[in-house]
Amino acid sequence: MPQLTLTSPSFRNNQPMPAKFSCEGEDASPALKWEGAPAGTKSSALIADDPDAPGGTWVHWVAYAIPATMTELPEGVAKTDVVAALAGFKQGVTSFGRVGYGGPCPPRGHGVHHYHFRLYALDTALNLAPGVKRHQLDAAMKGHILAQAELVGTYQRD
């Protein structure tokens, strides 16, 4: 039975993320690829966060209504609430207060932070408006997660 896996050509699991994907670079989202979604997957969702943030977990990306036929996201996804160029999936609001990906930007001298990218295969197509927050996505996914995969990137600012 296939297992859901999440990888990136931009960085390896548990390895440093290039500055290009951070506030010190282009703040572009990294390319992501996945495979092994179970039968019955109707859509996917993606959450990226930093549990090492000083004030508690910091949400860097909220994406949902990703069609089950999609198996990758390119680098530099548009920071719009609906990504028309990519089958119209939706993006929510991050801890930065903005829609779309917000890259690593930990406090200087705070050590290594771990950025968890989690992909969820869902048994439903979530009917959420664009621009929701993570807690709203978490609530909508409850009871609908068929499989989950995780990829962790690290980053630090000296």
Least confident of 29-33, 43-47, 109-113: 109-113
Q: Answer whether residue 24 shows pLDDT above 60.
A: yes
pLDDT value of residue 15: 98
- How deeply is 84 buried, as exposed, middle or buried, from its count of CB atoms within 10 A (0-12, 13-18, 19+)? exposed
Q: Answer whether residue 1 shows pLDDT above 60.
A: no
pLDDT value of residue 2: 62
Is the pTM of the predicted complex or chain greater than 0.75? yes
- Report all structural domains of the chain as residue ranges with CATH numbers, in order of start: 5-155 (3.90.280.10)
Q: Tell me the C-alpha to C-alpha distance, in Å, between residue 58 and each of 40, 106, 115.
A: 31, 10, 9
